A and B are shown apart, each in its own frame.
Chain A
């Protein structure tokens, strides 16, 4: 019987052979994101909007606050791509200037509440015990507060301007991030690979930086992707009800508010900033969904 079974030959070196190139989590995510057509289109749209916001005001003959009373409320033309407003200001420049400010506010606010939220969440999860309990009780109290109302109150107290909005948004925005980060670190810190790292003698700082943070990057990036559009919305909303950015500064909210005042006779003043803000929001939301599918390991098939 024995001769019927021949021992298969296995090359010892084959066992250690790595069939596929070694990918980091981010490279892996990028590969999957590329397959999602809608997300890629949105990514490039956002890049285009970003470039326009940075470059368009610089390469235009007009400035965002330069008034010219001979050419008020002009409809779009080759001279003024988006027309002009009630002071004869060029809306092409103002729209992209407004986009620049809106994006700036959104990114800085997202970055700030990301830093605050990640730190709070990580400290809470890693400290554990009493510290964690106290920190969680604080979060449970804060999470019940409707953010926008507190943002409005803060806006009233502080002087109007970009940084006020950034501060108001980040004071209220970090709670969610902190919860998510704590949740995912709590899950990670008891897993075998962390234990293995500890057994191999990795320092606590090493474990945090090399194992815990990289594994929560997905959660952080996804949450930031949803924070940015909500910050853009909040800024526009505040400016629209009249307590955000002030004229002559342009933000998308200021422009939409302006356009709304003259909507009846000059709809073009509202339409362009409205299209830009909707595009930004749509793209961030689709890209956010795409990133969640790409980065969240549980979504893997």
Chain B
């Protein structure tokens, strides 16, 4: 187990290194500089030199790379180009709250709705609810999140006026974005748990449980649900990816001051250091989640042996 975790940590470090390096050189290839505006061109050569020096852009690319890697190891992602004088880590840190809130709420909604639908669908196989669940599952992964978010905003917020259209003033503002973000998670969970439970319901121990006279409810909760919920952990990785990409669009649509909208804004402003910071942040977050999911899964389900399950 410890050997496995160490191996995974080595890969984790390697993957992060690849990402940081790729990001750094891609940013250097970017057409235009963040200071290509008219005001910058009007400055004297000396002033321009001073600004480039302040941001460390006057050195050769390999030296910048070495310096950048060194700084990252110290947790320093450089200074933002658009938010004058602010450290990238500070800018990102200030934006984590809203993103984390809607992300968490989306996962909770997804779990609650997805598990309920999936369990009922499997329990009442081929019933109306089962078909409804399958439709939800297909639509949830097929409707692009930005379309869903836009339509929700239009109907719930604009037409019916139930919830705020956007902005970030109180908790109510986070409801619609969380719902919009939760669709894919709901669909994936519902579908997964349905398939999983249909399989579990055919196992011998379910027959045994019924035969020894347990009530259907008890069979469902004690045996069927318990055994089919564990593997849901494995799809947390893809769910997190969907949430990350979803947040880019959803935060923009609902004008939420989160990391997703910061990323899109930085892209539009050519703010290298912020883009690199967020890329590394997102990637690291994703990689850690996958690692934790793998470890958690092996701890929850003793049937799985990490060393044996190399393909996992």
On A, residues with C-beta under 8 Å from B are: 140-142, 144-146, 148-150, 152-154, 156-157, 183, 229, 233, 236-237, 240-243, 256, 260, 263-264, 267, 270, 274, 277-278, 281-282, 285-286
Q: Is the CB of B22 within 8 A of A150?
A: yes
Q: Is the CB of B19 within 8 A of A145?
A: yes
- Tell me the chain B residues, 1-59 only, with Cβ under 8 Å from chain A: 11-12, 14-15, 18-19, 22-23, 26-27, 29-31
Q: Is the CB of A260 within 8 A of B150?
A: yes
Task: Kindly name the residue among B12, B264, B267 whose own CB sees the greatest number of chain A CB atoms within 10 A.
Answer: B267
Q: Is the CB of B138 within 8 A of A282?
A: yes
- Tell me the chain B residues, 119-177 only, with Cβ under 8 Å from chain A: 138-139, 141-144, 146-147, 150-151, 153-154, 158
**Extra 10 A-B pairs, beta carbons < 8 Å, given A144-B12, A148-B244, A264-B158:** A141-B14, A144-B286, A144-B290, A149-B283, A156-B267, A157-B29, A256-B144, A263-B153, A278-B143, A285-B138
Q: Is the CB of A243 within 8 A of B286?
A: no
Q: Roughly how many angstroms separate A194 CA and B11 CA in the complex, as a whole number?
A: 35
Tell me how far the C-beta of B274 lies from the nearest C-beta in chain A, rounded to whole angstroms. 13
Given the interface contacts A157-B26, A278-B143, does A145 sit within 8 Å of B154 by beta carbon?
no
Tell me how far the C-beta of A286 lies from the nearest C-beta in chain B, rounded to whole angstroms. 6
**In the assembled complex, which residues on chain A have CB atoms less than 8 Å from the CB atom of B108?**
none
Check if B275 is an interface residue, CB within 8 A of chain A: yes
Given the interface contacts A263-B154, A282-B139, A285-B141, does A146 sit within 8 Å of B282 by beta carbon?
yes
Q: Is the CB of A146 within 8 A of B244?
A: yes
Check if B180 is an interface residue, CB within 8 A of chain A: no
Q: Is the CB of B154 within 8 A of A241?
A: no
**In the assembled complex, which residues on chain B have CB atoms less than 8 Å from the CB atom of A264?**
154, 158
**In the assembled complex, which residues on chain B have CB atoms less than 8 Å from the CB atom of A281?**
141-144
Check if B74 is an interface residue, CB within 8 A of chain A: no
Check if B105 is an interface residue, CB within 8 A of chain A: no
Q: Is the CB of A237 within 8 A of B245?
A: yes
Give 3 closest A-B pairs by Cβ, nearest first. Answer: A281-B142, A144-B15, A282-B142
- Tell me the chain B residues, 246-290 only, with Cβ under 8 Å from chain A: 248-249, 252-253, 264, 267-268, 275, 279, 282-283, 286-287, 290
Q: Is the CB of B29 within 8 A of A243?
A: no
Closest to B158 in A: A264
Q: Is the CB of B147 within 8 A of A278?
A: yes
Q: Roughly how many angstroms separate A272 CA and B96 CA in the complex, as a whole number?
A: 35
**In the assembled complex, which residues on chain A have CB atoms less than 8 Å from the CB atom of B23?**
153
Q: Roughly how many angstroms separate A70 CA and B168 CA in the complex, as a whole number?
A: 40
Q: Is the CB of A270 within 8 A of B150?
A: yes
Task: Kindly name the residue among A144, A236, A237 whose own CB sees the greatest number of chain B CB atoms within 10 A.
Answer: A144
Tell me how far the C-beta of B275 lies from the nearest C-beta in chain A, rounded to whole angstroms. 7
Tell me how far the C-beta of B279 lies from the nearest C-beta in chain A, rounded to whole angstroms. 5
Q: Is the CB of A148 within 8 A of B150?
A: no
Check if B204 is an interface residue, CB within 8 A of chain A: no
Check if B311 is an interface residue, CB within 8 A of chain A: yes
**In the assembled complex, which residues on chain B have CB atoms less than 8 Å from the CB atom of A142?**
15, 18
Closest to A143 in B: B15
Tell me how far the C-beta of B150 lies from the nearest C-beta in chain A, rounded to whole angstroms. 5
Query: B249: which of A153, A154, A240 is its contact (CB, 8 Å)?
Result: A240
Q: Roughly how many angstroms separate A144 CA and B22 CA in the complex, as a whole number?
A: 14
- A–B complex contacts, Cβ < 8 Å, 22 sampled: A141-B11, A144-B12, A144-B283, A144-B287, A145-B15, A146-B244, A146-B286, A148-B241, A148-B248, A150-B19, A153-B22, A153-B26, A183-B311, A237-B146, A241-B249, A256-B146, A270-B147, A278-B143, A278-B144, A278-B147, A281-B142, A282-B138
Tell me how far the C-beta of A102 lies from the nearest C-beta in chain B, rounded to whole angstroms. 11
**In the assembled complex, which residues on chain B have CB atoms less than 8 Å from the CB atom of A236?**
144, 146
**In the assembled complex, which residues on chain A have CB atoms less than 8 Å from the CB atom of B26?**
153-154, 156-157
Q: Roughly how many angstroms separate A240 CA and B150 CA in the complex, as a whole number?
A: 11
Q: Is the CB of A144 within 8 A of B11?
A: yes
Task: Kindly name the residue among A241, A263, A267, A277 whose own CB sees the greatest number of chain B CB atoms within 10 A.
Answer: A241
Tell me how far the C-beta of A207 lies from the nearest C-beta in chain B, rounded to whole angstroms. 24
**In the assembled complex, which residues on chain A have CB atoms less than 8 Å from the CB atom of B275?**
153, 156
Task: Kindly name the residue among B30, B146, B244 whose own CB sees the greatest number of chain A CB atoms within 10 A.
Answer: B146
Tell me how far the C-beta of A39 lies from the nearest C-beta in chain B, rounded to whole angstroms. 12
Q: Is the CB of A241 within 8 A of B144?
A: no
Q: Is the CB of B241 within 8 A of A141?
A: no
Q: Roughly how many angstroms separate A241 CA and B266 CA in the complex, as a whole number?
A: 12
Q: Roughly how many angstroms separate A146 CA and B253 CA in the complex, as a whole number?
A: 22
**In the assembled complex, which residues on chain B have CB atoms less than 8 Å from the CB atom of A241?**
248-249, 252, 264, 267
Given the interface contacts A145-B19, A146-B283, A264-B158, does A157 sit within 8 Å of B30 by beta carbon?
yes
**In the assembled complex, which residues on chain A have CB atoms less than 8 Å from the CB atom of B141?**
281, 285
Given the interface contacts A157-B29, A281-B142, does A141 sit within 8 Å of B267 by beta carbon?
no
**In the assembled complex, which residues on chain B have CB atoms less than 8 Å from the CB atom of A285?**
138, 141-142
